[in-house]
Amino acid sequence: MSSEEEPNPYELLGIPLESTEQEIKTAYRQRSLKVHPDRNRGNPDAAKKFHELNQAYELLLDPLRRMALDAKMRLKEARKARYAQYDAKRKNLVDELEERERAFKKTKVEKEEKQKEMWRENERLMEEGRILREKKERELREKVEEAEMRAKAAQAELDPPSLGTLDTTVKVKYQLGARPDITTADHIRSLLSPFGAIESSEIVFSLKPAPPKKPKRGTALVPFKQISDAFGVVCASGRADRGLAGVEITWAEGKEPELIGWLKKMGKLGAVQPLSRQGSDIIMESRSQSQSQSQTEPVPQEATLSAPTSNGAFSTFPSSFPSSFPNLFERPTLGSNTPGLDYESITLMRLRQAERERLEREMREREAQDE
């Protein structure tokens, strides 16, 4: 609060500026009796007035504070006196100057406020631009990642899957009553050798004893050296013209290898075309000749592998098998003529051996359960 708004101690006590200390005390006693709260119980401002009276009394009894108050009041009275002597024109000039000062201050405040508002607007626009830029960068990055994923997926579809441990192995099942000529592993090898080279030493053969009221059955796991040969014998399952009447041949794992499905999807397997009995014999003769020639000379890359299907048709493997995918379709063998046998090859052969033992054990367990 400014000094002009503060109450005048002399006016509160009702004494002039030149009053003595005794006059101040006398005036205080008289005033305090009138404004004391105990005598003015119905007046809510009685306590405030009594407090102001005490403050004025203490100020006037302090010599230094009274001296400062007197100087301020004399200066104020002198200013009022000088202002009263001004003429109307000079008063107008003073008022105009004060008005200009107020207008200048107001303009300055408004300008600063507009500048702050402009800064806030710029910051808002910059923040919106940053958010929009990050959003576009994120969308572009997502599009790039999606395109890369699509490219990887397309490349993965084009790349052939690796050859599984049992992808070249087929499962043979038959009833001994229908095929009494098949009683040993050598019979199985002789029956299926026209379709391709067989790992003779790795054939798993089992004859199940005949339970009551059930025919005796035989089962065997036959590993081929190439998946094309295994595919051909599976397609010829049950074919009487191929010597497989009463013999059911399926994949060892009970499902088609991923490599066969990939070849069909990529259109690398030739279309199935129905052939006559004479055409089938011609193909089998050429196949036997090519197998006999393979012992003395390499098979040309243009050779086409054919396998009969169950409906009297033949499915043609692509001629690019031997040259394009030599490591995918040929089954590695362990022998005295195997050059450069490394640790990976040994590990793969051990895995295949363990898998064959597992399948043989499962077959024997199922046969025991059927008994």
Q: Are 333 and 199 in contact (CB under 8 A)?
A: yes
Tell the CATH topology of 169-370: Alpha-Beta Plaits (3.30.70)
pLDDT 10s digits, 152-171: 887 777 777 777 788 888 88
Closest CA to 207 of 215, 222, 219: 219
pLDDT at 279: 37
CB 308 within 8 A of CB 314: yes
Name the DSSP letter for residue 233: H
Tokens of 14: 């009702």
Tell the CATH topology of 9-85.
Helix Hairpins (1.10.287)
The mean pLDDT value for 285-300 works out to 45
CA 98 from chain centre, in angstroms, equals 70
**What integer is the mean pLDDT of 115-144?**
93
Give dist(CA 36, CA 50) in Å, integer.
6
User: What kind and span of H or E run contains 107?
Assistant: helix 88-158
Task: Map residue 198 onto helix, strand or coil.
Answer: strand
- E-only strand ranges, 84-181: 169-175
135-139, 228-232, 309-313: which is most confident: 135-139
Per residue in 307-362, pLDDT (tens digit) is: 444 333 334 444 444 333 444 444 444 443 434 445 556 666 777 778 778 888 88
Of 112-116, 176-180, 204-208, 348-352, where does mean pLDDT reach its minimum? 348-352
Domain chopping of the chain, boundaries: 9-85, 91-159, 169-370
| Count of beta carbons in the 10 Å neighbourhood of residue 165 | 18
pTM above 0.85, yes or no: no
CB-based burial label for 152 (10 Å; 0-12, 13-18, 19+): exposed
Backbone angles phi, psi at 337, to 5 degrees: -95, 10
107 CB-near residues (< 8 Å, 6+ apart):
none
Provide the CB-side half-sphere exposure for 263 (13 A, CA). 25
Task: Find the length of the chain.
Answer: 371
Q: Are 231 and 223 in contact (CB under 8 A)?
A: no
State the chain's mean pLDDT as an integer. 75
